[in-house]
A and B are shown apart, each in its own frame.
Chain A
């Protein structure tokens, strides 16, 4: 399978009063086309910083220090480095080829704009040219948009070629003339209704006229997903998209994501701290600890035969259906990333730590085909075997 997104040696620091927080330290990750990748870890381990760095939406005082994020939208295309793009080019990537669902639907939706306009905005931002072309074709083939049809035809003809043409910008400032984009807005709203309907919401025509506070939590999350899916992204990033939802609503959303994967989106990057969600929805998983990736591979391999001591400990520390005996816990707590531990960042809490662990940082190595681990101990055990 071809690689869709590949992060290499991504390093991000946050400069705070107490010193530089080394949130990501030479972080590498690769996601294939058509794969659902789960990124798990505890809070503060840098899961969200990872995606924010990849999409370049890190907030001050965070700074991306180095690395590459290679993104190839088509399987055979030459990858582009997202970190080297201009801000304007990046804007056309965000929300178009890569889009994101946030944890808190209340924060992601604007409370004073109707649902329909919020979903339509995504089309108006990324798809003006295409929609204008479609309307032009419709007008050419005899469809009427009222008295102003010739004016619409002329303006949309320009928009179809270049939606950012100076003429359009000028007209948008002039009374009456600024209505040139009415058919486009109408078309965008139609598309919004269509996509909301597709997400299993009953009578979408009515929903689009409502405001976010009229909807329940699960509905809002669906609308957020609709916005994310509007432009058929190649990669959908779900940042704790189900964490704040109730079990029954979470079940609805997870099923929705599963259905979507079968139909439309190429890949999903699912960020969560819930191992159960990952086990059920993902094919591949990456386990993060304190800004580093410690283990990655197929979900089945990683969860059934975890190689990194952290993954092992994490798996034994969550209660299970057929839990027997006492839960094992990881001693100590997540380190402060202003002064991260030397060498392997897990070594102060690791039951299998060796001398080497406190001095050398382990590399991510493919010990078993398709299963990468960054651990000196696993290295020795498996390496010794083969």
Chain B
């Protein structure tokens, strides 16, 4: 078990990986990746029961994770590599030709840890629901999934929300990265979501809210709290309030860094704010 200090060190290293990966290829999505770093580190290093050594694309008895917002692949790849799913140095191949680290996560190149492709938004909740349903038929364990707030504009999510409640998929813990931003601007301007908590509750979900999605302890607490809400005939949703671009000052408070890479100078600025803790990939 890692303590909070160690997990925070891991998060700092993951953030360095994110900005370096996106910088190398001048391409990728740093904003959401940085905002979800605490969540991803918490899930893989503190919350999920999983073992890279026994990984199989088909579910055994471990917990499963699905990333619906495939564009935050830099954060996920870093956490997967640093959990032992594949060599850390492979992170340098991100978005390059002949790499297993596709721009958006995919199974075709057989990168360990990925069970379904994502990138076209709105599909992950259905897939997670199916996997959770199979898990209920088969064995024990939780299914976790991560979604974007802007992504909730896709109608398929609401089909899936109804399905999960109807079929009492109560081993599923979904999380919405509630950062209030999307490509074209603030979610409230592009296409407001209204009261997301009330919406999910009215769809039959048990909804938890975490106001401090970039505080490691708060994130772990809410995920552990969510586990206690499982097994009660309702799917569980966490609304996780995060800051897009968290950890790099000039990327925060704006939607501008959703899908933009830092230049050489900006990279240096970013790295100066993020402590190298475990060691950079080479």
A and B associate in one complex: no
Chain B positions near chain A (C-beta within 8 angstroms):
none
Chain A positions near chain B (C-beta within 8 angstroms):
none
